[in-house]
Structure 1
Amino acid sequence: MIAAAAAPRIDPAILEPALVQLTRNEARVRRVGITAVQTGEGVSTLARELAGAYARRGRSAVLIEANWSRPSLAEAYGLIGRPGFADIVAGSVAPSRGVHAVADGLSVVPAGTPAAIRKATLDDGRVEDFLALVDERFDLALVDCEPITEIGDAAALSPFVDGFIVVIGAERTRRAVAQQALADLRAAGGAPLGVVLNRTRRPIPKWLYRWLG
């Protein structure tokens, strides 16, 4: 199934199908990357609201920020200056220091300090080590990723997540561009689990109807 989202908040009726599918498939889908075809599609908004809604269902969720070029979670959750994902990956802090509880059932791992972001790389073995610890503690990990068409960190995360939710901006992203981005993600080993058509004012085209198929 596809969700059609509107900024700046995601309608609960739009979140529901994703939440149902994530809960139904949580035995095999524990780590989900959220990415987009290009910048400005609403990835961080969707990630925040999905994580919060999942936690409110009585589950435990952690939101991890791997969008190091445009970090936003520290400001959103009042964690500015606190260590995060890059600090953990760089080995600057113990994993527990980068995970911050922000609500019942919800923790956030912000991008991290600027020095750590400059140092850390996603091909470090500490990424899998950290996510293995996350698996033990949380029902679901949502990873806020870079856009597919940019730096390539979404593709770099492919070995570490079970799949990706891909956000596509309606009215601004051509179908051919979106299809090529999805093909590129698959070629890098990433599995598109679902697509969110964001800011749409038109019916969702049939070719977009996919969800954990």
Structure 2
Amino acid sequence: MKNNSDSIIKIKKPSEINLSSIIQDSAKKTFLMTAANAGSGVTSSSLSLAEELSKIAAGSVLIIDTSISKDNLTTMLGKETALGLTDIETNQETINIVDYLYKFNNFYLMPCGRNSRKIQETINKDINKILKTLSSKFRFIILDGDAIYGNVNAIDLASKVDGVILVVQAEETRWEVAQAAQKRLKQAGADIIGCVFNDRKYYTPSWIYNKL
């Protein structure tokens, strides 16, 4: 297990991410973060949620990069050649999961893996076994996913996790598009537990919103 606590990535807190207290009191363990469109801030929201949960959870928190976009979390960390999700051999009796983890701040990261093209095969064939193994070691697991209208990975993952969190880019994501994305997720069998409104602008002072 490698330590990346000195990484140059700075975690930015989205405007609204008050799901941590709800998740903490839930029996759910695995969550997919996704959005309708690319560029909505899914990765920053995943990092922020992991940071918040790591402060209050009675157990460790893990982010798994399931995105194949060119600017995914794996690339941001410079871990394109590091072992990760798509490199895990599930045909073995036991999975030595430590080889695929990196410590980052107060939580852990699992890169996408050396062969991102294999992600669809991993999702279809191996992800259930991988998540089961990881769930015995981590209190919460966050899957940092691609946008729904980017590729089919997010839809395929939606029914394989305990809950889905939809990230909406404030004043950028059209409401009709967000509703359509929510409908697609539900049709895929997803349990949508909430939304994150990223980069929200307050036209009324934020302290007033906090009292509403």
**TM-score scaled by length of structure 2:** 0.79
**What is the root-mean-square deviation in Å for CA atoms of aligned residues?**
2.7
Matching residue's letter, 2:34: T
2:88 is paired with a residue of what secondary structure?
Answer: helix
CA separation of 1:184/1:50 partners in 2, compared to 1, >3 Å: closer, same or farther?
same
Q: Which residue is equivalent to 1:196?
A: 196
CA separation of 1:153/1:90 partners in 2, compared to 1, >3 Å: closer, same or farther?
farther
Q: Which residue is equivalent to 1:38?
A: 37
After the TM superposition, which parts of structure 1 deviate over 6 Å for at least 4 consecutive aligned residues? none
Q: CA deviation at 1:23?
A: 0.5
**Residue 128 of structure 2 is aligned to residue 128 of structure 1:** yes
**Residue 30 of structure 2 is aligned to residue 24 of structure 1:** no
Q: How many aligned residue pairs are there?
A: 190
Distance 2:200 2:56 in 1: 27
Q: Which residue is equivalent to 2:152?
A: 152
CA separation of 1:202/1:179 partners in 2, compared to 1, >3 Å: closer, same or farther?
farther
Q: Which residue is equivalent to 2:98?
A: 96
1:160 is paired with a residue of what secondary structure?
Answer: coil
Q: Give deviations 1:77-132, integer Å, cap 9, x for gaps.
A: 454421111222787x954321223344x11101111xx212342101x2111111
Pairing 1:5-24 to 2, within 5 Å after superposition? 9-10=12-13, 14-15=16-17, 17-24=18-25
Pairing 1:155-166 to 2, within 5 Å after superposition? 155-166=155-166
Q: Which residue is equivalent to 1:50?
A: 49
Percentage identity across paired residues of the two chains: 24
Pairing 1:67-86 to 2, within 5 Å after superposition? 67-77=67-77, 79-86=79-86
Q: Which residue is equivalent to 1:206?
A: none
Contact 1:77 1:102 in 2 (8 A): no
Distance 2:140 2:25 in 1: 12
**Residue 61 of structure 2 is aligned to residue 61 of structure 1:** yes
Distance 1:49 1:197 in 2: 13
Distance 1:156 1:89 in 2: 20
Distance 2:187 2:105 in 1: 37
Contact 1:90 1:119 in 2 (8 A): no
Contact 2:65 2:73 in 1 (8 A): yes
Distance 1:163 1:199 in 2: 23
Q: Which runs of 5 or more residues in structure 2 are unaligned? A: 1-10, 204-212
Q: Which deviates more from structure 2 when the two are superposed, residues 36-45 or residues 152-161?
A: 152-161
Q: Which residue is equivalent to 2:87?
A: 87
CA separation of 1:40/1:107 partners in 2, compared to 1, >3 Å: closer, same or farther?
same
Q: Which runs of 5 or more residues in structure 1 are unaligned? A: 1-7, 204-213
